[in-house]
Chain A
């Protein structure tokens, strides 16, 4: 690659443009030169002025290309089909109350336990693909095996995507621009079709519709959550999604989970809301830094969930009627 012209490089690796742009290398007019020849055109003064390190750029560039290529190839080659947690111990050194827990793609597992009980630690263990080398002594297997180190060190391949109630959009962009930026960074071939898919999915979740020209910062709480979930389901590279509570307002939470599941994600959901927790097949109980129990959602609990959902929809209905300015009567219970 060292003796390729910049034009040849860009034809073979279109994403190299992002490298030049991020490093503020304006290559216009130098397309027929090699990278080294291009860098040679800077005078000493210009190099100092722009804080450019020629040697470093020359040695970094192939590393970047290699990373991006493996990122492109990763989806086909390294699909995550299962996550296994092998037990460690809690803060007092007591062995955890399970031996191993395997979660398959499209499964939902809920996590319960007071704040500070060790949820972050569990997440960190998964994200780091712990191999008995963290304070809990847990080990993580992917597809039944000790996972590749790239999950630890590559900035583009993260195991876990996170969604929480505290998250906000901070960029000042429209939904279209925002999704396009994400799609481009993920090297998607046809950004517009993915963008259309995401906005459609998001509107399917959100109570109130929005469109591509809406600025992301002016979305309501429910709309933001809907967009974040649709974007994570469809565009995120991470196979595991952690959800930290979703408020029951302005978003259809059941559909949101269905969307994630249908995108082959492994879903971990920290929640104390029975309507969500009981949707999961299993729930992890965290105490004193360790997993004290793994409970299978029983048939009785599943039946109870149906009743709880009815109660919830009654309350939702009453809320809507109130908003409309209606008088409420006990008829809504009928």
Chain B
């Protein structure tokens, strides 16, 4: 089974792109399944189901969705193998700009959109910087100049990635992306022992554990304070 990990900011076009890529495999008889990771809510599963694609979803609730991903991907991969999939795609809502779900040796795709502003590549960290493929969407609604500037910001934070422009509505570019993603020879039986590409932060503070009271007395663990500057009046 092939495994491909998609990630990207909310509403950047991940589901649209994945659906178009899967549609491009139609003639090749590749059986694809999707697992969606999100935080509080998603109806992406309905969109995949409607397209006849086997789908599972996991909501991380109070946890960082990428931590949740790391603790569940092993079981998700065995689900994919049980279903006899040729290709398992995971879609993660990149809600935590500090973490990223990519694994070493597994293709990682980051989907970002032209509307999100040129500072986005600076902001989103490892989710963009350590991806193998960067897919830029919504090029149909911004100017050529903005597309070019955005793409150059992306390539300066991740010059090694293959950057592609794909339209999530018309599917323009999805076939091409699909042809780069699927690898006949890859056969992932398990991800046990594989490594995350980028370590997740060590943060674990009393608020992670359910503390609700504000005040220094209640703060434990990994606590970081803002520098508000002593001389500011």
Interface residues of chain A, those whose CB is within 8 Å of chain B, are 18-19, 22-24, 48-49, 51, 53, 56, 60, 63-64, 67, 120-121, 123-124, 127-128, 133-135, 152-153, 155-156, 158, 161-164, 166-171, 178-179, 181-182, 185-186, 224, 228, 231-232, 235-238
Contact = CB atoms under 8 A, between A and B. Distances in A.
B173 A127 contact: yes
Contacts, number: 129
Interface of B: 24, 27, 98, 114-115, 117-118, 121-122, 125-126, 129-130, 134, 139-146, 148-149, 151-160, 162-163, 165, 167, 170-173, 175-176, 179, 198-199, 201-202, 224
B146 A171 contact: yes
Given A155-B151, A232-B145, A237-B148, 5 more contacts: A23-B157, A64-B155, A127-B172, A134-B176, A178-B145
A123 B165 CA distance: 12
B153 A67 contact: no
Contact of B156 (A22, A166, A170, A236): A22
A19 B156 contact: yes
Contact of B165 (A53, A158, A231): A158
Nearest to A236: B144
A60 B170 CA distance: 33
A123 B172 contact: yes
B151 A232 contact: no
B148 A60 contact: no
A84 to B, nearest CB: 19
B109 to A, nearest CB: 15
A123 B176 CA distance: 12
A124 B129 contact: no
Nearest to A242: B144
Nearest to A162: B144
Contact of A168 (B142, B151, B153, B158): B142
Contacts of B160: 60, 63
A167 B140 contact: yes
A235 B175 contact: no
B144 A232 contact: yes
Of B151, B154, B173, B175, the most chain A CB neighbours within 10 A belong to B175
Contacts of A133: 179
Contacts of A60: 158-160
A19 B156 CA distance: 5
Contacts of A155: 134, 151-152, 154-155, 163
Of B156, B163, B172, B224, the most chain A CB neighbours within 10 A belong to B156
B156 A169 contact: no
A22 B144 contact: no
Given A166-B141, A228-B144, A156 B155 contact: yes
B64 to A, nearest CB: 14
A127 to B, nearest CB: 7
A167 B142 contact: yes
A53 B129 contact: yes
Contacts of B152: 18, 155-156, 185
